[in-house]
Amino acid sequence: MALARFITILVVFILSVGLYNSGCSPTANPTPPNPSASSTPQNSTIVPSTKSPPSSPNGTVEKTQSPTNTTPVVTTVNLGKIAFMSGVAAKGGPQLYICDANGANWVRLTNNSHGDWFPKWSPDGKKIAFYSDRDGNYEIYIMDPDGSAQTKLTNNPANDVLPTWSPDSKSIVFTSNRDGNEQIYIMNSDGSDQRRITNHSKDDGAPVWSPDGNSIAFQSNRDGNPEIYVMDKDGSNQRRITTNPQNDLYPAWSPDGKKIAFQSNPNGNFDIYLMNADGTNQSKITTNNSDDKYPAWSPDGDKIVFDSTRDCTGTVDEMYTMGIDGNNQTRITHSECNDTGVPSWR
C-alpha cells in the first residue's frame, strides 16, 4: 500500500509540474494608450494587412481534480469560441471569423466583396447571425458556424442591423429603420413573423435578450443622449436604467442575468462599465485612455472580451479579455491592427 501511495503522489507531482510548465504565456501588457476620438468602425482608414494572424496554443486548458481521490482525474475544459469581424478598412468592409478563447486558430467564415458585420452566436451554438450589405442594403443573415448555409432573413430597402438571439434560439431581435427611424423588431429565426416592438420618434437600437427570456435591454436617445433601457420581451414596460449625460451604448447581459455590461465615454473615450440589471451599482472596469468597446461575456460569466484601440492608431481595434473586475487585461488578437473585434463568445 505504501508503495502504491508513493507512486500515486509521484504521478500527481509529475502531472502538476507538467501542467505548470505547459501553461500559456500571457501576452505582455499593452503599451501605453494612444488618446483618440471616439468613432464608429466605419471611419477607419487603416489599410489592413493580408497576413494571417499568429497562431498560439489552442483554447482549452486541462484541470486536475484530485482533492480526495488517490487517482488524479484530468478533464479538458472547453473555453468556447469567439465570433468576431476583422478588416473594416478592407475593400467592401469586414469579414467574419471565429477563434479560440485565447485568440488563436482563426477560421474565416465569410468571403465576399461586401461587409459582414456584428456576428452573434445563437445560444444553442448551431447558428451565427450577422448583417451584410451584400444585396445592396443591410439585411439580417444567419449561417452555420463553419460559414455554410448563409441565409438572408430580411428583405427590404431599409437598414436591418444588429441581430441578437432569444435564449431558446427560436427568435431574433434586431434594429431597423424600415418604418422611418431606427426601432426594435422581432422575428422567428427563419425570418417569419417580423414585427415591431418599440414605437418612438427617437431612435432605439442594439437590443439584447435577457438570459431568462423575459426582458430585452436596448439603447435609445429618447431622453436627449444615448441611455440603456430595459423592456419586457413584448415591448411593454420600458424603463431607463442609466442616467448619465454621456453615450451609454451596447448593453450585454451576463450569463446569469444579474449584470449588464455596456460602454460609456464620460472622459472623452469609451470604457467598459458594469451595473446590476436594474441599473444600480454602476462601475467602470477599464481605465484606458483609448476606446474600449463592445463588451461580451464568456460562457461561464468569469470574463469579458472587448475591443480596444489602445495598441493601434486612430479608431482601429484589437480584441482583449479581462476578468469582470477589470483585472488581467490581455490582448488576444494580433492582426497588425486590421480592425478586429465586436466579439460574441460561446
Residue of the chain from 34, 56, 64, 137 that contacts Ca ion (CB under 5 A): 137
- Total interface residues for Ca ion by CB under 5 A: 13
Instruction: Give whichever of 49 and 243 is closer to Ca ion, judged by the CB atom.
Output: 243
**What are residue 95's DSSP bridge partners?**
86
The interface with Ca ion within residues 266-295 (CB under 5 A) comprises 269, 271, 288, 292
The interface with Ca ion within residues 160-199 (CB under 5 A) comprises 160
CB of 342 to Ca ion, least distance (A): 16
For residues 120 and 98, the answer to whether their CB atoms sit within 8 Å is no
Residue of the chain from 248, 311, 317, 339 that contacts Ca ion (CB under 5 A): 248
For residues 218 and 251, the answer to whether their CB atoms sit within 8 Å is yes
Instruction: Give whichever of 106 and 174 is closer to Ca ion, judged by the CB atom.
Output: 174
Which cell goes with 91? 475593400
Which cell goes with 86? 476583422
Q: How far is CA 174 from CA 150, 162, 219, 256, in A?
A: 18, 5, 12, 22
Residue of the chain from 43, 112, 199, 225 that contacts Ca ion (CB under 5 A): 225
CB of 86 to Ca ion, least distance (A): 21
Which cell goes with 149? 448555409
CB of 2 to Ca ion, least distance (A): 59
Instruction: Give whichever of 269 and 344 is closer to Ca ion, judged by the CB atom.
Output: 269
3-state class (DSSP) for residue 211: coil
CB of 35 to Ca ion, least distance (A): 9
Residue of the chain from 100, 204, 227, 317 that contacts Ca ion (CB under 5 A): 227
* 206: alpha, beta or left? (left if phi > 0; alpha if psi -120 to 50): left
**139 belongs to the binding site for Ca ion (CB under 5 A):** yes
CB of 152 to Ca ion, least distance (A): 9
Instruction: Give whichever of 64 and 244 is closer to Ca ion, judged by the CB atom.
Output: 244
Instruction: Give whichever of 53 and 265 is closer to Ca ion, judged by the CB atom.
Output: 265
Q: Which residue has the cell 480596444?
A: 308
**318 belongs to the binding site for Ca ion (CB under 5 A):** no
Q: Please choose, out of 20-28, 37-45, 155-163, 185-193, the segment that lies near Ca ion by the rule CB under 5 A.
A: 155-163
Q: Provide long-range contacts, Cβ within 8 A and 24+ apart, for 205-208.
A: 205/161, 205/162, 205/175, 206/162, 206/175, 206/249, 206/250, 206/251, 207/162, 207/164, 207/173, 207/174, 207/175, 208/164, 208/173, 208/251, 208/252, 208/253
Instruction: Give whichever of 126 and 196 is closer to Ca ion, judged by the CB atom.
Output: 196
Which cell goes with 245? 449625460
Instruction: Give whichever of 49 and 287 is closer to Ca ion, judged by the CB atom.
Output: 287
**263 belongs to the binding site for Ca ion (CB under 5 A):** no
In b/e form, how buried is each residue of 41-54, taking b as 16+ CB within 10 angstroms?
beebebebeeeebe
CB of 157 to Ca ion, least distance (A): 6
